[in-house]
Amino acid sequence: MKSVKVTSCDCKKIVLSVQQNGNCTAKKVSNTETELKEKTSNHLKDEIRGIAEDYIDEEDMDEFLESLERVITETTTTTVKVNDTPVYMPKGFKYLDGAIESKNYRIIDQEGNIFTWVPERTLKYGRLVKGFFVSTYEISKGAKRTPKSIEGAMPWVNISKPKAIEQAAKLGGRLLDGQEWDAICEECAETVGEFKVYKDSAEIGNYWNSAGSTQTLETTGKHVICGISNLAGNCWTWTNETDGKLAVIRGGSYIDDGNYPMASRFNRNRNYRNFNIGFRIVL
């Protein structure tokens, strides 16, 4: 495949362009303004390589990744103390609630968006996942079509993956990686048991066969596990995970049986939209 070279593009625009159109690869990156959060160099490389491998010549990939690393020069995080405990915090957020030592504490920004901390863990298949903040709630649509992570709102569904990526960037975030969803599943399994996470989630989510189900999409804030609501059922969640050229959604929805549990995955075209597919944001 032929690379398309650019002379100046910030990291956010590179990622969005590659994800949506595949028309922007970086031989040279000169603008250091970025809204893309870096967890670690390796995490960034893995994420961008997965996004860009269909669009960039293999011989250009290393230089592309090196350019992206160089552009991320401004930190987007800070560390504050809560009860004398240093706490990692994205800029613009403050501690909300939850015991730091119990790991699933929450943070909030000035607009009321709430995120939950998911601690670092090594997955059962050996992959190390760094700690991250995930939207406590399924993302809903605020005023002027702004993404919100708030309680009591209808999830933003009928949105394609490229549009979900675009909306996540407005909060300085991105979609969940597949491994991050797996990390959430493993942590929740320690609380509610593996069967309810990996086999049948009807008892812990909103499915058509859940007890008392209205067989409709619920507002955000219900079925809270590990400080995060509506992980099972309600609406499928777009992720950065891919299967070939198809995008991967996770978690099941209200029109599904509980046998599409929290850990389930399903493939869709990235431009597909439906009334039972939404998204979450990772900072």
What pLDDT was estimated at residue 234? 95
Residues 59 and 111 both lie in one domain: no
* DSSP strand pairing (106-109 vs 128-129): unpaired
Residues 146 and 270 both lie in one domain: yes
What pLDDT was estimated at residue 115? 95
Which segments of the chain have a pLDDT < 70? 1-58, 60-86, 99-102
Task: Write out the residue range of the structural domain in which residue 28 sits.
Answer: 5-71
Q: In angstroms, rounded to a whole number, what is the distance separating the alpha carbons of residues 156 and 164?
A: 9
pTM above 0.85, yes or no: no
Residue 202 belongs to a domain: yes
What pLDDT was estimated at residue 47? 57
Interacting residues of 13 by C-beta distance below 8 A, sequence separation 6+? 24
What are 94-99's contacts with CB under 8 Å, separation 24+? 98/227
What pLDDT was estimated at residue 15? 47
Residues 14 and 126 both lie in one domain: no
Residue 41 belongs to a domain: yes
